[in-house]
Amino acid sequence: MELLTPGTGLLFWQVIIFLTLLLVLSKYAWKPITESLKEREKFIEDSLDSAKKAEEELVNIQKKNEELLSEARKEREKILAEAKTLSNSMKDDAKNNAKEMADKIIADAKKVIDSEKDKAMNDVKNTLAELSIDIAEKIIKKDLSQDSSQKKYVEDLIREINKTK
């Protein structure tokens, strides 16, 4: 029972000393300690936050860089493709032009050749006719009167030549 009866003296001193302890420690120990701990935690948190932010920014910048790069790549491809089509069309145009020109030249040449051929043919025909006439003249001159049948033959010949003319 003695264990369970609180002593008045101890009770009194415990109240006084514990309150003193509480006041002294609150002012000189707990306040600076908890405040510094809080500040330190805030500092650490802030540092972590800013590190995180910096990282995010870095990622953003990288993303932007990549975007720029890919855009530039696309642009290049576009330009290249345009140049290719342009050169192709230019080539086609040139080819077509050349072909047309060639065709025209060929056609002209053909025309010239045809007309030359006709001319030559006419010449040949004329010359042939003259020659034939000459030959015929000579033959006729020689003995036209000799044989009537011959005469008839010559006449036929002349007719024939005239017919073909």
Please report, as ranges, the residues that interact with another protein according to CB under 8 A. 2-15, 17-18, 20-22, 24-26, 28-34, 36-37, 39-40, 43
> Which residue, 17 or 69, has its beta carbon nearer to another protein?
17
How many CA atoms, within 13 angstroms, populate the side-chain half-sphere of residue 5? Answer: 4
Rounded-to-integer distance, Cα 103 and Cα 88, Å? 22
**Closer residue to another protein, CB minimum distance, 11 or 102:** 11
Q: Which residue's structure tokens are 């707990």?
A: 30
CA–CA dist 127, 129 (Å, integer) = 5
Q: Which residue has the tokens 């030959």?
A: 135
Nearer of residues 44 and 81 to another protein, judged by Cβ: 44
Name residue, tokens 């040949």.
Answer: 124
* CB of 154 closer than 8 Å to CB of 139: yes
Residue ranges of the alpha helices (H) in the chain? 8-25, 31-143, 148-164
Both tokens of 122, joined, read 């006419």
Closest distance of CB 42 from another protein, Å: 10
Shortest Å distance, C-beta 33 to another protein: 5
For residue 58, the minimal CB distance to another protein (Å) is: 26
How many angstroms from the chain centroid is the CA of residue 137? 81
Q: Which is nearer to another protein, 4 or 148 (CB)?
A: 4
Return the number of the residue (34 or 132) whose C-beta is nearest another protein.
Answer: 34
Measured between alpha carbons, how far is residue 15 from residues 11, 23, 33, 75, 105 in Å? 6, 12, 25, 84, 128
> Least distance to another protein from the beta carbon of 48, Å?
14
Give me the least distance between CB of 37 and another protein, in Å please: 7
